Each structure stands twice: as C-alpha cells, then as structure tokens.
Amino acid sequence: MKFSKKIFSFITSALVLTSAVTFTNGISAKAETIDKPVELYHTNVVYDAGSSAHYSGYIGVKNLAYAKNVVVHYNYTNSQASNIWYDVNASYVKNNASDGDEVWKFETPSVDSKYSGLADIQYYIEYDVNGQTFYDNNNGKNYKSTYFGGDFGASRPYLNGFSGYARNNGQEYLFCQVQTKKSVNPQVVRVRYTQDDWATYKEVDLTQARDGFINSDSNAWSIDIPIISGKPVKFAAYDVVNGVEHWDNNLGDNFYFSF
C-alpha cells in the first residue's frame, strides 16, 4: 500500500525513558538516563476552529526545585518581522513517571490563516531554576517548525503517526511511522506491541522510508504490522543508539489503536 494512501493519526508524544520503561503489566526495558536539565519532546501544528492555527509543544524538565520558569523564545523566519523575537511561557502539565521529568507545554498565539498566515518558526528553550539558566537550542541550530511538520529532541525518537487499514484478503494492519534526527544513527528502530494488555508482546523492526520525514533534519522509519481483528493494540516505539534504548511511549501512557 502506498504511503500517500495511508491516513495518519498524529499523536503528541516523544520522549526517552530513563532508567526503566514500565508497561501496564510491569514489563520493563533498560534505557539511557538523560542528564539534560531541559529538552524538547516535540512540537506540532494545531489547527484551530475556523481558519486559524498555532504551534504547540511539549518539553521535558528536570525537577531541580519547586520554583522554576520555562520560556520558549521564537521568531517567524519567513515573515516581514523575521528579526523580531517573541517569548511564550510554558506551563506544567504532569510528572512523567517513565523518564522522571516534568512535562511542560507551550503554545504560540493563533494566527488567522492556517496556511499563508502561519509562518515558519525557529525557537529555543530557556529553563531558569535555583539562580541558574539552562538552554535547549538543538545543539546550536535552534528548532524549526512549519505548518508541514514540527520538530523534536535529538535524544528522543518520535512516533509521529499511525493508522489502520485492511487489505483485500481481510488481513488488518497497523501502520506506524517513527522519526529520528539525522544526527542520530540508530542500530535499529522498533515497535513493541501487545493485543492482550501486555500479558505477552511482540517486537518488529522498522525500515527507513524514502518519504514521510517531517522536516529536513529527520529520517522517517515505517512498518506495517499484521494484527488480530477485533483486538485493540497497545504499543510504543524505541531506537537503539550505541547499545542504549531510547523510547517514545506517549509520555508514559503508551499508544492505543482499535478499529
């Protein structure tokens, strides 16, 4: 089935699990501890009611003190005001039990047109805590997002889309797509999934796709997974870099699909 015919359900999730990835039934997998005080999970375009749209993103923050401030600095790179920088405060969402970080969310103001009016942006994150300031600026390159796609942190593979379909013989499939940064060279990209609520699970390797990447700094990986009809699927994705697993399990909630 061609890539262009698949229907995607884009999901807000991208994270690396630290020390352990815990699934519903206690299955766990070792993963790298991320020492960065602050790092982007991912950013997406949000289409509002009517013809407006804005950018929305999630950030992982180490809880170094109760009092803290997280700010995203951004500018519109393809507008007449490309030399003007703006600030937007992020707000606390929840604790992420999977990686020990706090999840914070930011949203840019909506603009009238979701096409010509939603300019491309570049941005970086500032984290102020205990009299110290930490930054995540994508290793000096800043993050970049357009209405075609968002961005994500280099240490965090990003399961950005999945959908289900059936072939003519009645076999049903779950299609998954995962993004990795071009600066990362994973030994493997996998999806772990279950249809019996983690009593058992299977793993499948994704292959690098020729298209489907969300920006010029990412590689896309995809897989069609044959599934049992009528049974919901829970799943998560991970890659392996230098022998270490990095996970995206939807901010600790795992992904879910049912026909």
The residue whose two tokens read 């490309």 is 82
Q: Which residue has the higher pLDDT, 122 or 27?
A: 122
CATH architecture of 38-145: Sandwich (2.60)
**Global pTM value:** 0.80
Average pLDDT over residues 58-74: 97
Is the predicted pLDDT of residue 13 greater than 70, yes or no? Answer: no
Domain with CATH 2.60.40.2440 in the chain: 3-32+155-257, 38-145
pLDDT score, position 87: 97
Is the predicted pLDDT of residue 59 greater than 70, yes or no? Answer: yes
Closest CA to 41 of 56, 59, 17: 59
Q: Which residue has the higher pLDDT, 5 or 64?
A: 64
Q: Which residue has the higher pLDDT, 248 or 116?
A: 248
Average pLDDT over residues 152-177: 93
Q: Which residue has the higher pLDDT, 68 or 8?
A: 68
Is the predicted pLDDT of residue 70 greater than 50, yes or no? Answer: yes
- CA–CA distance, 80 with 12 (Å, rounded to integer): 30
Fold of 3-32+155-257: Immunoglobulin-like (2.60.40)
- CA–CA distance, 216 with 181 (Å, rounded to integer): 9
| pLDDT band at residue 80 under the 50/70/90 scheme | low
pLDDT score, position 7: 35
pLDDT score, position 155: 85
**Token digits of residue 66:** 């109760």
- CA–CA distance, 242 with 240 (Å, rounded to integer): 7
